[in-house]
Amino acid sequence: MAATVTSALVLGCATAASATAAPPVTALLAPVVELSADRLATAELVAAAKWHSGDPVEAPEREATVLAEAERSARALGGDPEVALAVMRDQIEANKVIQRGRHADWYAHPDRSPLRPPDLADARADLDRITPALVGALTDAGAGLAAPGCEAELARTARRVADERGMDRPGRTALAVSLSSVCA
């Protein structure tokens, strides 16, 4: 009888402990991957706007602003500013991968180039909304970014998101670039 009571108490404690344990790594990484894909979805508009304006893909002032905002957001949320900066650098580079690819395609095939310039302000407004949300998702993921298996879970989640969104090969490559620094 005492053994049964002890077993029940141990099982009850184990169940209570697992109920309060950290969420699985996949649940922590999914918002990071989703928001990274959202950020990449703006690249086509940015590429088209720059194509029509003649602006270069590189935008050092805008990039510095985005990085400073990511660092501020991470500090305000209690996250790691170095992680936020590393991931945002990757995000910026991934966006440029798509922009350069689109520009190369449009130079080679002018008939595929966008006919009208989109409003770059709309794409930047989306980026300005997504960036702090992504920093928040990184902060929420916290220790999960250093958990064993983070890279494998990140890759699985990225494949799932890419499949769901019908990303082409350049988009999948850019998504991988955007997530390069997520796992510690």
Q: Mapping DSSP to helix (H, G, I), strand (E, B) and coil, where does residue 139 land?
A: helix
Q: Is residue 55 part of a domain?
A: yes
Q: Is residue 14 part of a domain?
A: no
Q: Is residue 96 part of a domain?
A: yes
Return the number of other C-beta atoms located less than 10 Å from residue 30's C-beta: 19
Q: Is residue 3 part of a domain?
A: no
Range of the domain at 135: 25-178
Closest by Cα among 100, 80, 61 to 181: 80
- The pLDDT assigned to 26 comes to 74
- The pLDDT assigned to 146 comes to 92
Q: How many domains does the chain have?
A: 1
Q: What is the pLDDT along the chain (184 residues), one digit of tens a residue?
A: 444 433 333 334 333 433 445 456 778 999 999 999 999 999 999 999 999 999 999 999 999 999 999 999 999 999 999 999 999 999 999 999 999 999 999 999 999 999 998 988 888 899 999 999 999 999 999 989 999 999 999 999 999 999 999 999 999 999 999 999 999 7
Q: Is residue 152 part of a domain?
A: yes
Q: Is residue 8 part of a domain?
A: no
Helix 60-77 and helix 120-141, axial crossing angle in degrees, nearest 10: 30
User: Looking at residue 137, which CATH number applies to its domain?
Assistant: 1.20.59.10
Q: Is residue 31 part of a domain?
A: yes
Write down the pTM of the prediction: 0.84
Q: Is residue 32 part of a domain?
A: yes
